[in-house]
């Protein structure tokens, strides 16, 4: 046992690096001057080291800590995604004007972000329902506090409160579901659950209830309809850096966890399947997931039409995108999973980019209203063009990367025969064009007010913008590397 | 005997849970929750999980619920509309007696159906502190450490949210 | 019934009988000692040297009118005094009085004890709340905060004793002290434990819960008759049981000091009798200490009380625990 644990620790270096960074950030907060972004740089350094350690894990495929955690290409892929998102968010945070007022607790801010990263790393790799729940909860608790970080704004306090109440209830339901699942299968590791299900369970109804309950928790984290009600308010109230993080990173992690859980626990691994979860005869899981995906696309896109606040708009758009990604889960073949991964990769850059421009504008103009974007095209040309590219990508039009993302996910769904779902997705994509283009229209088709001058954003922000803009454009044309990366990373341990 | 105790605890747990939800007075609700937790601790004992039973009482009934009560009393939460407020001592005694009688009736019904499967022999070993400690520090070492970080994050978060003054 | 069950029941009932009577005697002793410390006679009229005073008190309480405040919660008001008595009685179940004399020799004795004592707070808190009086409520709130705060240092101090015994079983903890009492091996733990035990019993200098100068009678302001008497009884039972716990955890229980080195083998009966005497003498000494402290030390301020627990005792206890744990590990690995 001792050898096994020591051996396991040698595959846990990225998580350990994050934990150490977390401790250093908390202590550095007591020692260092707060105004100098020193803690931010420390955190960035820690994340870069973690990145190196994660890349060093490429190609490993094993299970550590008595089947608690899997280190496999699938996990490595998502860890890299999460790290890119985290580095970007830390960079955003160092520029955010919202956070300057709270500079004396910035150490706690970074500490909680690191806590979230740790939680999400574990979500991505967890193969034991106990660890899955703990990781899920670690991520959630950190994000509740972060959502309420700018406490003097009432909206932020409201966001935090709503998030906690909603999150506590749904994770409670999920925990109950997990306990039922453990009760009927007698196993806590998802491999054990799979074996028990393959041998057949006596109570299919309980299994159905347990699965639905677990889906409630996961659906909350992904913000899928009908568990999305928290999302717009929280996204609006939270500091914009955290909004971006919630919309991208925690969603990605939850998708990774969902894919691993469903694929390993509920699929019959011996049989080659196309688009079904044949192990569980009690109920057709694909249909439930498909209905949820369709609802998310419909509700997200339609409600977004009426939004006046850019953060709320992006919130509804991210609900809709969760719907698109969920289509990949409905399919759940290797093709579907790789489509999810491609989507996630591209979604990361385009959504982070959109939030970044929104943050820059809010830094300068102090507004998040879409009406106030009027004439921005003249005052901040580069940023406006970048925003346009991001929004076009979010819509899914060529030649941006968003088109590639949608192409693969629609393709996977069509191959699996989900034509109706793809039809809904297509129609909703067209609907989404209206609200995304409303922002673009405000920026370019209106004259700026007379007194409004050119906005100067500084070199560093332009560089960060480019980091997101270039992939969004390049991968729209030259997408082979993404495809290769995703296809090489679909190997899940135990399958 | 065991069957009877199980039915008693189970009935009591359900009755207390119902009473907790239905009661209009917040303090009474909290107290019924304590009763519910104690009955569940009793069920754990019947399953020979001594450690779990004692920790259930120590942590939930003894610490968490005291803080619950503390907050309820401190905030002086007004009762909801007083419908069940007529609860008096006799009422509570009669409810408890009712539960006892009901559980006895259920016991008779249960003994005819032979409902309860026996608790596995080795449960007495599994439920001890030593066994749980062994498992926690070998198989479940990673979740244990993650729990530590989770609690750290929760404490930092709670302090951040509760702190009134900041520059 | 199995023979073990019968033995357990007999031990439990005898212990209960003894503890209840001791509590009554302690009430009398407290008043006489208070008189002695304050240089006045104390109660000396009822019977020879006033020995029948407790009986007279009980008679008086029985004839008092039993009052529930008009907007108070009658049910809770009635239940509240019973709770601390129940927890005190329940604690007796795991205390070993002599070799082999323990009502219930369970595997998780220490945790059971902590769990049971932690339930005692409900009585005081609910009594304070159900009285519908601001003094009572303040007393109740204070007790909730105080008891939850002092449970932690108490638990940590007990945990440092558990390290020596490597068991949560009370009998094994006592037997681990056959050669060296824990008070010699773990003096800091002892100090922490005794302070926490005083606070848990709501005794001076931690009797903020009653604090007659500020709160009239504290949580029992609105209690009269036997309900008050029950609270009163519970307080003294907690004094007795607190003393028993101090003896059990730190003063070797029923063992004489360094008994393992010099005490010869004796017959079973002789051992039990000697053990009982040793245990009783030690317990009575600590009961005396409880009374002595009460009439000697002034009361804490409430903020000091909380600070003292959270920012002094608890960190000290944790450091103590870690140091002892490391010392034991080093000793076991390198010296034995």
Confidence grade of residue B151 (pLDDT, cut at 50, 70, 90): very high
pLDDT at A495 over 80: no
Cβ of residue B67 closer than 8 Å to a chain C Cβ: yes
Predicted local distance difference test score (pLDDT) of residue A228? 87
* pLDDT (tens digit per residue) in C288-316: 888 888 888 888 888 888 888 888 889 99
Q: ipTM of the assembly?
A: 0.88
Contact criterion met (CB < 8 Å) for A108 and B160: yes
* Residue in C148, C119, C117 with CA at minimum distance from that of residue C244: C117
pLDDT at B80 over 80: no
Chain B partners within 8 Å of A69 (Cβ): 142
Instruction: Quote the minimal CA–CA distance from B62 to chain A in Å.
Output: 22
Predicted local distance difference test score (pLDDT) of residue B128? 81
Predicted local distance difference test score (pLDDT) of residue A142? 92
Predicted local distance difference test score (pLDDT) of residue A276? 44
The more confident residue out of C107 and A342 is A342
Contact criterion met (CB < 8 Å) for B157 and A142: yes
* pLDDT (tens digit per residue) in C83-97: 888 888 888 888 888
C72, C87, C144, C325: best mutation site toward chain B, by most B Cβ within 10 Å? C144
The structure tokens 């409430």 sit at C302
Show which of residues 138-177 on chain C sit within 8 Å of chain B, judged by CB atoms.
140-141, 144-145, 147-148, 151, 168
Q: How far apart are CA C16 and CA C20, in angstroms?
A: 6
Contact criterion met (CB < 8 Å) for B160 and A105: yes
Q: Which two three-digit tokens encode residue C96?
A: 């070993």
DSSP H or E run through A394 = helix A381-395
Kindly give, in sequence order, each residue whose CB lies less than 8 Å from that of residue A174, ignoring residues fewer than 6 positions away. A133, A136, A213, A214, A216, A217, A218, A220
B48, B52, B59, B70: best mutation site toward chain C, by most C Cβ within 10 Å? B70
Mean pLDDT over A15-20 rounds to 93
* pLDDT (tens digit per residue) in A348-401: 999 999 999 999 888 888 888 888 888 888 888 888 899 999 999 999 888 888
Q: Which two three-digit tokens encode residue A300?
A: 């997200």
Cβ of residue C76 closer than 8 Å to a chain B Cβ: yes
* pLDDT (tens digit per residue) in A300-319: 999 998 888 999 999 999 99
Q: How far apart are CA A116 and CA A111, in angstroms?
A: 9
* Residue in C237, C241, C110, C250 with CA at minimum distance from that of residue C193: C250
According to DSSP, the residues that pair with C40 across neighbouring strands are none
* pLDDT (tens digit per residue) in A70-117: 999 999 999 999 999 999 999 999 888 888 888 888 888 899 999 999
* pLDDT (tens digit per residue) in A257-300: 998 888 888 776 655 554 445 555 656 778 888 899 999 999 99
Counting residues of chain A whose pLDDT is more than 70, the rounded percentage is 96
pLDDT at C220 over 50: yes
Q: Phi-psi region for residue A332, left (φ > 0), alpha (ψ -120 to 50) or beta?
A: left
Contact criterion met (CB < 8 Å) for A144 and B138: no
Contact in structure between A118 and B142 (CB atoms under 8 Å): no
Task: Identify the architecture of domain B2-122 in CATH.
Answer: Up-down Bundle (1.20)
Counting residues of chain A whose pLDDT is more than 90, the rounded percentage is 37
Sign of CA dihedral A468, A469, A472, A476: negative
Question: Which of A182-196, A341-355, B67-81 is modeled with the greatest confidence?
Answer: A341-355
Chain C partners within 8 Å of B91 (Cβ): 75
Domain locations in chain B as residue ranges: 2-122
- List the single range of A217-221, C80-84, C140-144 with lowest mean pLDDT: C140-144
Cβ of residue B31 closer than 8 Å to a chain C Cβ: yes
Mean pLDDT over C28-45 rounds to 84
Chain A partners within 8 Å of B138 (Cβ): 1, 5, 66
Q: How many CB atoms lie within 10 A of CB B152?
A: 17
Q: Which two three-digit tokens encode residue A65?
A: 């800590």
Q: Report the residue from C129, C148, C151 with minimal CB separation from B27.
A: C129
Cβ of residue B155 closer than 8 Å to a chain A Cβ: no
Mean pLDDT over C251-277 rounds to 82
| C with A: touching (≥3 Cβ pairs within 8 Å) | no
Q: Report the residue from B34, B54, B70 with minimal CB separation from C112.
A: B54
Burial class from Cβ neighbours inside 10 Å (0-12, 13-18, 19+) for residue A385 reads middle
Predicted local distance difference test score (pLDDT) of residue A335? 84
* pLDDT (tens digit per residue) in A105-141: 888 889 999 999 999 999 999 999 999 999 999 999 9
Kindly give, in sequence order, each residue whose CB lies less than 8 Å from that of residue C216, ignoring residues fewer than 6 positions away. C135
Is the omega angle on the peptide bond into residue C205 within 30 degrees of 0, that is, cis? yes
Contact criterion met (CB < 8 Å) for B58 and C168: no
Domain locations in chain C as residue ranges: 66-335
pLDDT at B79 over 70: no
- Chain A neighbours, 3+ Cβ pairs < 8 A: B
Predicted local distance difference test score (pLDDT) of residue A273? 52
Contact in structure between A149 and A282 (CB atoms under 8 Å): no
How many beta-carbon pairs under 8 angstroms link A with B?
A: 68
* pLDDT (tens digit per residue) in C171-204: 888 888 888 888 888 888 899 998 888 888 877 7
Instruction: Quote the minimal CA–CA distance from B152 to chain A in Å.
Output: 9
DSSP C218: G
Q: How far apart are CA C206 and CA C227, in angstroms?
A: 23
Q: How far apart are CA A253 and CA A80, in angstroms?
A: 11
Cβ of residue B133 closer than 8 Å to a chain A Cβ: no
Q: How far apart are CA A4 and CA A7, in angstroms?
A: 5
Mean pLDDT over A1-20 rounds to 90
DSSP H or E run through A63 = strand A62-64
* Residue in C30, C217, C64 with CA at minimum distance from that of residue C131: C217
Q: How far apart are CA A249 and CA C307, in angstroms?
A: 41
Contact in structure between A173 and A216 (CB atoms under 8 Å): yes
Question: Which of A176-180, A325-329, B30-34 is modeled with the greatest confidence?
Answer: A176-180
Confidence grade of residue A178 (pLDDT, cut at 50, 70, 90): very high
Phi, psi of C296 (to 5 degrees): -115, -40
Cβ of residue C114 closer than 8 Å to a chain B Cβ: yes
Predicted local distance difference test score (pLDDT) of residue A275? 42
Instruction: Quote the minimal CA–CA distance from B137 to chain A in Å.
Output: 10
The structure tokens 């002789």 sit at C270
Predicted local distance difference test score (pLDDT) of residue B93? 79
Q: Which two three-digit tokens encode residue A225?
A: 């309809």
Contact in structure between A29 and A106 (CB atoms under 8 Å): yes
Predicted local distance difference test score (pLDDT) of residue B78? 64
Q: Report the residue from B140, B156, B157 with minimal CB separation from A144.
A: B157
Chain A partners within 8 Å of B148 (Cβ): none
pLDDT at A175 over 90: yes
Contact in structure between A289 and A212 (CB atoms under 8 Å): no
The more confident residue out of B121 and A444 is A444
Q: Closest residue of B to A141, CA-based?
A: B154
The whole-chain average pLDDT of chain C stands at 84
pLDDT at C250 over 80: yes
Contact in structure between A14 and A54 (CB atoms under 8 Å): yes
Give chain A's contact residues with B (Cβ, < 8 Å).
Answer: 1, 5, 8, 12, 19, 22, 26, 65-66, 68-69, 102, 104-105, 108, 111-112, 115, 118, 122, 128, 130-131, 134-135, 137-138, 141-142, 144-145, 148-149, 151, 160
Sign of CA dihedral C84, C86, C89, C92: negative
């Amino acid at each position: 046992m001792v050898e096994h644990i020591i051996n396991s620790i040698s595959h846990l270096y990225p998580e350990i690096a994050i934990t150490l960074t977390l401790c250093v950030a908390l202590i550095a907060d007591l020692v260092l001057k707060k105004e100098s972004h020193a803690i931010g740089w420390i955190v960035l350094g820690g994340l870069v080291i973690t990145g190196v350690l994660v890349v060093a894990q490429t190609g490993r495929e094993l299970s550590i800590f008595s089947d608690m955690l899997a280190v496999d290409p699938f996990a490595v892929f998502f860890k890299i995604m999460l790290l890119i998102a985290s580095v970007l968010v830390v960079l955003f945070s160092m520029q955010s004007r919202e956070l300057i007022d709270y500079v004396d607790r910035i150490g706690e801010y970074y500490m909680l972000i690191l806590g979230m990263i740790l939680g999400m790393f574990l979500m991505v790799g967890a193969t034991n329902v106990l660890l899955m729940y703990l990781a899920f909860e670690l991520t959630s608790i950190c994000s509740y506090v972060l959502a309420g970080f700018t406490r003097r704004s009432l909206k932020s306090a409201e966001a935090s409160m709503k998030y906690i109440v909603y999150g506590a209830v749904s994770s409670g339901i999920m925990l109950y579901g997990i306990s039922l699942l453990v009760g009927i299968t007698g196993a806590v590791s998802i491999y054990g659950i799979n074996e028990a299900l393959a041998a057949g369970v006596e109570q299919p109804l309980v299994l159905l209830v347990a699965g639905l309950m677990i889906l409630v928790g996961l659906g909350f984290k992904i913000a899928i309809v009908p568990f999305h009600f928290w999302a717009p308010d929280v996204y609006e109230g939270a500091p914009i850096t955290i909004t971006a993080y919630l919309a991208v990173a925690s969603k990605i992690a939850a998708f990774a966890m969902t894919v691993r859980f469903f694929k390993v626990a509920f699929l019959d691994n011996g049989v080659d399947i196309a688009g079904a979860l044949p192990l569980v005869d009690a109920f057709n899981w694909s249909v439930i997931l498909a209905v949820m995906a369709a609802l998310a696309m419909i509700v997200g896109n339609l409600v977004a039409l009426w939004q006046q606040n850019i953060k709320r708009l992006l919130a509804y758009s991210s609900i809709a995108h969760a719907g698109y990604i969920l289509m990949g889960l409905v399919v759940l073949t290797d093709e579907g999973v790789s489509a999810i991964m491609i989507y996630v990769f591209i979604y990361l850059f385009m959504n982070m980019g959109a939030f970044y421009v929104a943050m820059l504008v809010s830094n300068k103009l102090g507004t998040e209203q879409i009406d106030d974007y009027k004439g921005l095209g003249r005052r901040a040309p580069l940023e406006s063009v970048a925003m346009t590219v991001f929004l076009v990508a979010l819509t899914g039009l060529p030649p941006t990367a968003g088109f590639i993302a949608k192409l693969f996910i629609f393709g996977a769904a069509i191959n699996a025969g989900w034509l109706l779902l793809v039809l809904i997705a297509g129609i909703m994509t067209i609907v989404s064009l209206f609200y995304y283009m409303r922002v673009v229209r405000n920026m370019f088709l209106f004259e700026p007010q007379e007194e409004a001058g050119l906005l100067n954003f500084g070199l560093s922000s332009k560089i960060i913008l480019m980091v997101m803009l270039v992939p969004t454009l390049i991968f729209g044309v030259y997408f082979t590397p993404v495809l290769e990366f995703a296809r090489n990373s679909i190997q899940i341990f135990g399958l | 005997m065991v069957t009877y105790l199980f039915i008693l605890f189970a009935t009591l747990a359900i009755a207390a849970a119902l009473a907790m939800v239905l009661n209009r007075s917040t303090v009474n609700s909290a107290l019924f929750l304590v009763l519910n937790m104690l009955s569940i601790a009793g069920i754990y004992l019947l399953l020979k999980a001594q450690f779990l039973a004692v920790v259930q009482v120590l942590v939930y009934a003894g610490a968490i619920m005291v803080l619950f009560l503390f907050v309820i009393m401190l905030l002086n939460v007004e009762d909801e509309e007083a419908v069940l407020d007529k609860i008096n001592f006799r009422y509570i005694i009669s409810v408890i007696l009712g539960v006892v009688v009901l559980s006895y009736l259920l016991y008779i019904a249960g003994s005819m159906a032979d409902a309860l499967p026996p608790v596995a022999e080795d449960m007495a070993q599994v439920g001890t502190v030593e066994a749980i400690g062994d498992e926690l520090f070998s198989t479940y070492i990673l979740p244990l450490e993650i729990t530590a970080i989770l609690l750290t994050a929760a404490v930092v978060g709670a302090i951040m949210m509760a702190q009134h003054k900041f520059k | 019934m199995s023979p073990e069950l019968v033995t357990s029941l007999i031990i439990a009932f005898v212990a209960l009988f003894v503890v209840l009577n001791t509590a009554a005697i302690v009430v009398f002793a407290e008043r006489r000692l208070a008189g002695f410390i304050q240089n006045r006679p104390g109660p000396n009229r009822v019977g020879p040297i006033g020995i029948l005073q407790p009986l007279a008190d009980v008679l008086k309480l029985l004839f008092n009118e039993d009052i529930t405040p008009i907007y108070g919660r009658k049910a809770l008001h009635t239940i509240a005094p019973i709770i601390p008595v129940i927890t005190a009685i329940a604690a007796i179940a795991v205390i070993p009085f002599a070799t082999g004399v323990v009502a219930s020799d369970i595997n998780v004795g220490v945790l059971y004890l902590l769990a049971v004592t932690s339930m005692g707070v409900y009585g005081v808190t609910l009594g304070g709340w159900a009285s519908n009086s601001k003094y009572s409520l303040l007393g109740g709130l204070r007790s909730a905060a105080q008891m939850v705060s002092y449970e932690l240092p108490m638990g940590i101090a007990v945990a440092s004793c558990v390290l020596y015994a490597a068991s949560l079983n009370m009998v094994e903890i006592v037997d681990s002290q056959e050669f060296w009492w824990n008070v010699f091996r773990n003096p800091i733990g002892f100090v922490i434990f005794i302070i926490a035990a005083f606070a848990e019993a709501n005794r001076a200098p931690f009797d903020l819960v009653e604090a007659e100068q500020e709160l009239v009678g504290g949580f029992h302001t609105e209690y009269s008759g036997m309900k008050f008497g029950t609270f009163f009884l519970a307080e003294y039972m907690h004094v007795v049981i607190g003393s028993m716990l101090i003896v059990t955890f730190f003063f070797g229980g029923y063992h004489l000091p360094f008994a393992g080195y010099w005490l010869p083998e004796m017959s079973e009966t002789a051992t039990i009798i000697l053990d009982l005497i040793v245990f009783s003498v030690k317990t009575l000494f600590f009961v005396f200490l409880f009374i002595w402290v009460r009439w000697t030390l002034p009361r804490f301020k409430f903020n000091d009380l909380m600070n003292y627990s959270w920012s002094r005792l608890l960190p000290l206890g944790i450091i103590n625990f870690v140091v002892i744990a490391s010392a034991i590990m080093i000793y076991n690995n390198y010296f034995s």
